[in-house]
Chains A and B, each alone.
Chain A
Amino acid sequence: MSVLILGATSPIARALGEAYAHQGQAVFIAARDAEEAKRIASDLEVRHQVRVGSGVFDAVKFDEHDLFLDHVESVVGPIDTLVVAFGDMGLPPDEADFASTHRVIDVNYTGAVSVCEASADRMIARGSGVVIGISSVAGDRGRASNYIYGSAKGAFTLYLQGLRNRCFKVGVHVMTVKLGFVDTRLTFGMDTAIPIASPEAAAAAILSAAQRGENELYYPRFWRGIMGVIKAIPENVFKRLSL
């Protein structure tokens, strides 16, 4: 059994790698920063004595994704679980130019779709596998502060729905994850009334939800309620708010 984690240098992705390695699965750690990916892979190897690999993955080099998957499979064997954990928040709207906007769409949507398609094709051919796509609550409703990122993640969520529908018949499972506040650099020092989850708790929840075959996981789970409320606000009211 092997797992490929893309964007593995985020604390949540690292915690997921830890959880899979703890189960004895081989783990391939891929990220833009090769040195960092290697450190995380070494950590899993030392702690859990599992087969690991690491390497550079660039979401926007679409042409190379298939070759990259060949390389991963040559190191850790056929990929049973793909975790798409990379993302690019981009710049705030008033600082962003179109080049940065384009990149945000390319990383979060086009790149994610490219590698998911390539990997899903292999899983479909084998008749088994799990795709875990880490999307975002930002994709549930467009907001002034991050609507480029939000729209790309929203599109990714929609893509995962379709992929799930396509894969269901052949025994490949697709799970969408929407994370609320997790204790990472993005929330560090943030003064929030809403509790912040640890990366380890988020990883444990993702792993068990995937094993139960859940389709869409909000974590912490109360975020489904929060986003339910946010989605229910009429557009005429919502456009006046600054959330």
Chain B
Amino acid sequence: MKTNWVPRDIEGWGRYPVVEALVARPERLSEIHAALDDREDDAVLAHGLGRSYGDVATLKGGRVILTSRLNRMLAFDETTGWLRCEAGVSIKEIIDTFVPRGFFPPVVPGTQFVTVGGALANNIHGKNHHVDGCWGDHVRRVELLLASGEVVICDKNNKPELFWATAGGIGLTGLILSMEVQLINIENRYIEMESIRVNNLDEFFEVSAESTSFTHTVSWIDCVKTGKNMGRGIFMRGRHATADVKAPVGTLDRMSSLVQGLADGRPLHSNHLLNRATITLFNEAYFRKTPAGLSSAITDYIPFFFPLDAVDHWNYVYGSRGFLQYQMVVPSREAVREILKIISESGMASFLAVIKEFGDLDHGGLSFPTKGITLALDFPNFGIPLLEMLERLDAITVSVGGRVYLGKDARLSRASFRQMYGEWEKWKEVRDKWDPEHVFQSDLGRRLGLSGE
């Protein structure tokens, strides 16, 4: 049957940019092959649940293949935790299926609504990067539909360079059909966590240094405050609870596992809701809600890992112009300080900012995590002044040997990209070998000179 291509707007989670493409949604394996055959010489890109922020999963005027219906779990080994599943399976599906059986995904991002295909293509990280690395570090085999129409299986021994380039390969090496990922054992669904109020950046680094025994760390940071309180925030650290930890008993605690999709951000759709005043208020309130010092709690995994899933479509609160997320990693504390200073003084301060220290694990290629401090910030799309400031941040990042996360990006320049990702040519050589005609493209890939132009 001929592929049903439908003209549709495609956007990332930041809702900037929005582009038109022809979209298909295969429901059978044979239909994804047919879609690739029926592309009529246009470029092709897979698109999962649309949680990457900028243009890494958009393709203007091209053919976008939605993977949401190719979400079959194919095999699971209860003794080792190896799961083989199609690319469209979501982290939420894995969690819902396996938490009751004592397993958890090895790495989770800040939302459950990502596919495993997207997790590998962006080689995502989570709060446990300093211990467990990225998603790709837990994948041993990938089944890939190549530009030629051929299906190959690659792993560490078989086409190892293609396997390497596909982890963090932002979908440009081929269409990921399935993968084998190893789930970890958990003893129950709870997290033993501690929250520590830190009053400035120095305190953050102190607490971070003494938290290495925790498998999961992350810190919320207030980017409005300047001066001696710059970098104040709430440091959160935790680990999966052991079997002897009793479930929380309060009503609120029991309800916390239900904190998903409680509200919908779409009715709040406005270009005026988030401004300096409301962002300052939010930051103040968030800081105050945690008592000074250290507090411990047993919490369900949902509010710990996925606090933002409580509000569906929260991205709509930024209004029709959308928003940009800026996430970079830098090896030096001074650079973090400099970047925070520019942001807090700019008045474009971010509503939600997160800071974390990565561990040593660095996959190379186009993968983002590398040793250093990462900062992730959301900005309403203020246009030129914002873009100019982000370029200044790029310059600082480049000058200390850091990099910007492509899965969040919508505006990085080609020149800065090349300075940030030292292995881009090595990666591109592998990509071009397996897709010489540049069948697989994305708007980000074109902008950064990776495929297409």
* Chain A residues close to B by CB (< 8 Å): 9-11, 33, 35-36, 39-40, 42-43, 46-47, 184-185, 188-189
B73 interfacial by beta-carbon distance below 8 Å: yes
B393 interfacial by beta-carbon distance below 8 Å: no
Known contacts A42-B72, A46-B74; decide if A9 and B28 are in contact (CB<8 Å). yes
B8 interfacial by beta-carbon distance below 8 Å: yes
Asked if B73 contacts A47 (CB within 8 A), the reply is yes
Asked if B97 contacts A33 (CB within 8 A), the reply is no
Asked if B6 contacts A188 (CB within 8 A), the reply is yes
* Chain B residues close to A by CB (< 8 Å): 4, 6-8, 23-25, 27-31, 69, 72-76, 83, 85-86, 97
Contacts of B69 in A (CB 8 A): 11
Apart from A46-B83, A46-B97, what 8 extra A-B contacts exist at CB < 8 Å?
A36-B29, A39-B29, A42-B73, A43-B74, A184-B27, A185-B27, A188-B24, A189-B7
Contacts of B30 in A (CB 8 A): 33, 36
Where chain A touches its partner, the secondary structure class is helix
A103 to chain B, nearest CB (A): 15
Known contacts A11-B69, A189-B8; decide if A42 and B27 are in contact (CB<8 Å). no
Q: What is the number of contacts between chain A and chain B, taking CB atoms within 8 Å?
A: 46
Known contacts A9-B28, A184-B27; decide if A43 and B72 are in contact (CB<8 Å). yes
Asked if B76 contacts A185 (CB within 8 A), the reply is no
Contacts of B8 in A (CB 8 A): 189
Which residue of chain B is the closest to A38 with respect to CB atoms? B74
Which residue of chain B is the closest to A9 with respect to CB atoms? B28
Asked if A9 contacts B4 (CB within 8 A), the reply is no
Known contacts A185-B4, A188-B4, A189-B8; decide if A36 and B28 are in contact (CB<8 Å). yes
Q: In the complex, which of the residues B4, B28, B83 contacts A189, with contact meaning CB atoms closer than 8 Å?
A: B4
A50 to chain B, nearest CB (A): 13
Sample (27) of A-B pairs whose CB atoms are under 8 Å apart:
A9-B27, A9-B28, A10-B27, A11-B69, A33-B28, A33-B30, A35-B29, A39-B72, A42-B72, A42-B73, A42-B74, A42-B75, A43-B72, A43-B73, A43-B74, A46-B73, A46-B75, A46-B85, A184-B27, A185-B4, A185-B31, A188-B4, A188-B6, A188-B25, A189-B4, A189-B6, A189-B23
Contacts of B73 in A (CB 8 A): 42-43, 46-47
Contacts of A35 in B (CB 8 A): 29
Alpha-carbon distance between A204 and B7 when the two chains are bound, in angstroms: 31
Asked if B25 contacts A185 (CB within 8 A), the reply is yes
Alpha-carbon distance between A214 and B283 when the two chains are bound, in angstroms: 55
Identify the interface centre among A10, A40, A47, A184: most chain B CB within 10 Å of its CB: A47
Contacts of A10 in B (CB 8 A): 27
Alpha-carbon distance between A185 and B4 when the two chains are bound, in angstroms: 8
Contacts of B85 in A (CB 8 A): 46
Contacts of B97 in A (CB 8 A): 46-47
Which residue of chain A is the closest to B78 with respect to CB atoms? A49
Q: In the complex, which of the residues B7, B27, B86 contacts A11, with contact meaning CB atoms closer than 8 Å?
A: B27
B384 to chain A, nearest CB (A): 36
A49 to chain B, nearest CB (A): 8
Asked if B76 contacts A46 (CB within 8 A), the reply is yes
A76 to chain B, nearest CB (A): 19
Asked if A40 contacts B72 (CB within 8 A), the reply is yes
Alpha-carbon distance between A33 and B86 when the two chains are bound, in angstroms: 18
Contacts of B31 in A (CB 8 A): 185
B8 to chain A, nearest CB (A): 7
Contacts of B7 in A (CB 8 A): 189
Alpha-carbon distance between A239 and B25 when the two chains are bound, in angstroms: 36
A81 to chain B, nearest CB (A): 22
Alpha-carbon distance between A163 and B67 when the two chains are bound, in angstroms: 40
B182 to chain A, nearest CB (A): 15
Contacts of A188 in B (CB 8 A): 4, 6, 24-25
